[in-house]
Amino acid sequence: MDRPLTVAVTGVTGYVGGRLVPELLDAGYRVRALARDPRRLAGRSWADDVDLVRCDVADLDAVRAALEGADVAYYLVHSLGTGRDFEARDRHLARTFARAAREAGVRRIVYLGGLSPSGVRLSRHLASRREVGEILLSSGVPTTVLQAAVILGSGSASFEMLRYLTERLPVMTTPRWVSNRIQPIAVRDVLRYLVGSAEMPPDVSRTFDIGGPDVLTYRDLMQRYAHAAGLPRRLIVPVPVLTPRLSSLWVGLVTPVPSGIAKPLVESLEHEVVCQEDDVRELVPDPPDGLVGVDRALDLALQRIHDGEVTTRWSSASLPGAPSDPLPTDPDWSGGSFYVDERRTVVEAPADVLWQVIEEIGGHRGWYSWSLAWRVRGLMDRVAGGPGLRRGRRDERHLRVDDVLDFWRVEAIEPGRRLLLRAEMRLPGLAWLELRVDDAAEELGTPDDGPSPEDAAGAGRTYFAQRALFSPHGLAGQLYWWSVKPFHGVVFGGMQRNVAAEAARRADG
């Protein structure tokens, strides 16, 4: 062709999709990124290099319009952990996408599914992934279905599950599936196969098994991880009584991966997942140095974590049921009740130092206030099916729009000035937390116990401004706000004092 291919990518806010886009750009393709809310992509390094298209993949007309003029369409959507009806949702979305791609004249569909054995009763999750592949293959559009087992890469759900189980449990009783054979694949090889699939011959329309060069048991994989992380060899004792449900609850307790996501991953490990063919290598040749082995994949992932270069994580995609409503620009006139807790403190430190403390909040550093209260709230959220505090941070020092921050998500960020977090914990309403650096008194007014704004500015001080906002849903929301309001002085007041103290300490140091 005398022009670069135009490729449309769904799932760009997810783990694989967020990493695939820059690989496609590097390969010379024009990329069209489809997202239900393109604002969530504002912090990505590639956001200005792609066409951002607002598109809900459940809307046939929207998908058809988004795919018009595209040569290749990547379908990286699945309903992992979305609830009991995930199979019906997966089926509906796949049929919608297949029809839209055919009607828009797309030349090829590429889908990343799950590796599964033949002739056995599959878990619901793997059966749904296989069904989606079959729907796309029957679309009338040449389709490449890549089937992968465990994906090893910094931030993947499979890697995080492996990492935390191995690090936190030097001795563990495990389900029988730890003795099943698996064929992991490094995320960089997954991305290479995805990119290479864009220009497969028109007569190729089939599934391909993809895997790395090593076949081993999950028990062996945990021992390999322990060695790569410099940990003593783990004592692993398989027991027959742990069902997939019990296993997923156990995984959800020990690791940051919630049981709703851990359960389908655990169920897939009930089967031996080993490639039955490697035909894809005839169409997408191996790189000169070969496929990435398990030990190298683990080293690369750990190095990325150590260097703070984890570009996407399993938590990049929003949790099912998590609110996505933007903060109303004028809460006072947004309709209904809107509760606000506002605080402001003078900080004896430059604005850039205060901002550094604010941007590093959460994760391992915590929230600079009553830590027990935060831990209890996180535990309550996990019991209610929310993410709790275990999602942590993608990067320990820097944030970008759409980053996960414990049970918050970054909705907006103005570097050096403002951080707006949207709550994703289970709540009877919508909640935000705004942390801001002010050089002088603004709309919050002058604190009664502090110097005037002019005196503070003249002394080189700054203000740490903080707002907690809550829009209740019904009576339950009203009761929730008034039940937690007495604790705001301890939690948010403590955060004010301790953030200010930390900024002052760093300024003095």
- pLDDT score for 441: 45
416 in any annotated domain: yes
249 in any annotated domain: yes
Give the CATH number for residue 181.
3.40.50.720
pTM of the model: 0.77
- pLDDT score for 445: 45
Domain that holds residue 77: 6-313
247 lies in the same domain as 102: yes
* 434: enclosing H helix or E strand: strand 429-438
153 lies in the same domain as 71: yes
- pLDDT score for 226: 94
Alpha-carbon distance values, 440 to 295, 347, 494 (Å): 54, 11, 22
130 lies in the same domain as 239: yes
Task: Answer positive or negative: Cα dihedral of 476, 478, 482, 484.
Answer: positive
143 lies in the same domain as 45: yes
328 in any annotated domain: no
Within 10 angstroms of residue 325's Cβ, the number of other Cβ atoms is: 10
Q: Which of 313, 328, 362 is the last residue of a domain?
A: 313
341 lies in the same domain as 305: no
332 in any annotated domain: no
How far, rounded to the nearest angstrom, does the alpha carbon of residue 111 sit from its chain's CA centroid?
19
213 in any annotated domain: yes
Give the CATH number for residue 355.
3.30.530.20
HSE-CB at 282 with a 13 A cutoff on CA atoms is: 7
Residues of the chain with pLDDT under 50: 321, 330-335, 441-451, 453-454, 456-459
- pLDDT score for 312: 81
298 lies in the same domain as 346: no
290 lies in the same domain as 362: no
491 lies in the same domain as 346: yes
Contacts of 113 (CB under 8 A, 6+ apart): 129, 130, 132, 133, 145, 146, 147, 148, 207
Q: Specify the residue for token string 């830590």.
A: 371
Alpha-carbon distance values, 187 to 310, 312, 462 (Å): 12, 11, 44
**Looking at the 3D structure of the chain, how many domains does it have?**
2
- pLDDT score for 325: 55
- pLDDT score for 295: 95
322 in any annotated domain: no
DSSP state, 247?
H
330 in any annotated domain: no
Q: Which of 260, 281, 313 is the last residue of a domain?
A: 313
Residues 219, 314: Cα–Cα separation, whole Å: 22
The three-state secondary structure class of 408 is strand
78 lies in the same domain as 159: yes
- pLDDT score for 223: 94
- pLDDT score for 148: 94
Mind listing the pLDDT tens digit for each residue in 253-306? Answer: 677 776 667 777 777 777 788 999 999 999 999 999 999 999 999 999 999 888
324 in any annotated domain: no
- pLDDT score for 243: 64
Within 10 angstroms of residue 168's Cβ, the number of other Cβ atoms is: 10
Mind listing the pLDDT tens digit for each residue in 361-406? Answer: 998 889 998 888 888 888 888 777 777 887 888 888 889 888 888 8
State the virtual CA torsion across 344, 349, 355, 359 in degrees, nearest 10: -90
279 lies in the same domain as 341: no
Residues 20, 194: Cα–Cα separation, whole Å: 8
351 lies in the same domain as 383: yes
Q: Which of 265, 281, 313 is the last residue of a domain?
A: 313
Contacts of 95 (CB under 8 A, 6+ apart): 135
121 lies in the same domain as 154: yes
